[in-house]
Homo-oligomer: A and B are copies of this chain.
């Protein structure tokens, strides 16, 4: 049996660390009553002002500048790792070694070797070791998945998956960890990891990758003077520039079992698209769409209505869809929600798992995080085979 209330901590109080901290705070307010609210123990960040703000805001007891203090703390049972990708391995391994449950952000690691080591570490413990594919908690995406599974839509024949962002479109946005690393560590790792995972969530395992292209449009960026967080607007810039090491745009095609095809487009320089994750699924009996800019809805066309009144319909998610009933305080249809809510649902699933409850689908494990990296790696391998005209 797991000690309850569990002590939880967040390592990394940057853009996404905030969402995790809030998620722990509210995880016990959703769904089945009875899960004891976790003790909000610690927030760690090398940049103390971030840790302090997040801890004060969401009610965590203390802050740490060094993540090792969190790992060593006996009152911490579970940690979220929400720092740059190249720090994931060391922290996750230490946490598991210290007997903590771990929720690590995606992509699992910068290399297959790192990820494999993390999987091995997890295999050596009985702790929950999960990776944060948060979009799996989207009510709308789950509603589409239900329609695939139950036959309303039937098997997917073709998935067109786009993730367009503009966090890199301004050449004056500072250098950060997101722009460092070899090919594939750019937009592919950052947001492609999500998209590849969602496609598998809906279509099953990827069986092949073809014809990837990558392009870097802004080849150097100013170094920041202070600490840049998230997509790093607002920070002061130095006169010095550093080279951008990875791709701004990436496009490729995929296959899945049964002849399903996939078409992927990723960008971090898509003017005017702050956060446009779009899925279009052509299935045996219908078509479905999702667009993250309108998180509370999805589109569907099937053969139900008569031909003279058939068309693409926009479904506003409500309590009859996954995750909504009691996932939001007022939970009547169209009340609205967003990505921060997905983190609450994910935190709840993670805590339930630790507690041995199975009300929600469990978080993907590290092996799944490794598998995700394998697909990304295949995309990189698929870049060198163009047919010249």
Contact = CB atoms under 8 A, between A and B. Distances in A.
A202 to B, nearest CB: 16
A286 B312 CA distance: 16
A43 to B, nearest CB: 13
Contacts of A340: 328-330, 335-337
A157 B249 contact: yes
Contacts of A33: 53, 56-57
A388 B336 contact: no
Interface stretch (A13-21, A92-100, A175-183, A357-365): A13-21
A286 B309 CA distance: 12
Contacts of A307: 320
Interface string A217-238: 1000000000000110000000
A164 B261 CA distance: 14
Q: Is the interface of A mostly helix, strand, loop or mixed?
A: mixed
A294 B336 CA distance: 7
A115 to B, nearest CB: 15
- For the complex formed by this chain, how many copies does it contain in all? 4
A338 interface: yes
A341 B330 CA distance: 10
Contacts of A37: 59
Given A29-B22, A295-B336, A211 B252 contact: yes
Given A269-B157, A313-B305, A314-B312, A329 B387 contact: no
- Using C-beta atoms within 8 Å of the partner chain, give the interface range for chain A: 35 or more
A143 interface: yes
Given A152-B309, A295-B336, A315-B309, A330 B18 contact: yes
A128 to B, nearest CB: 23
Given A160-B251, A272-B310, A293-B334, 4 more contacts: A213-B261, A215-B261, A296-B336, A378-B389
22 contacts: A147-B309, A152-B306, A152-B309, A157-B217, A158-B215, A158-B267, A210-B211, A211-B253, A215-B260, A215-B261, A231-B332, A249-B282, A255-B386, A263-B265, A271-B282, A276-B334, A293-B296, A299-B311, A301-B313, A311-B316, A328-B340, A329-B343
Interface of A: 15-16, 18-19, 21-23, 25-26, 28-29, 33, 37, 53, 56-59, 143, 146-147, 152, 157-158, 160, 162, 164, 205-213, 215, 217, 230-231, 249, 251-253, 255, 259-265, 267, 269-276, 282-287, 292-297, 299-316, 318, 320-321, 328-330, 332-341, 343, 374-375, 378, 381-382, 385-389
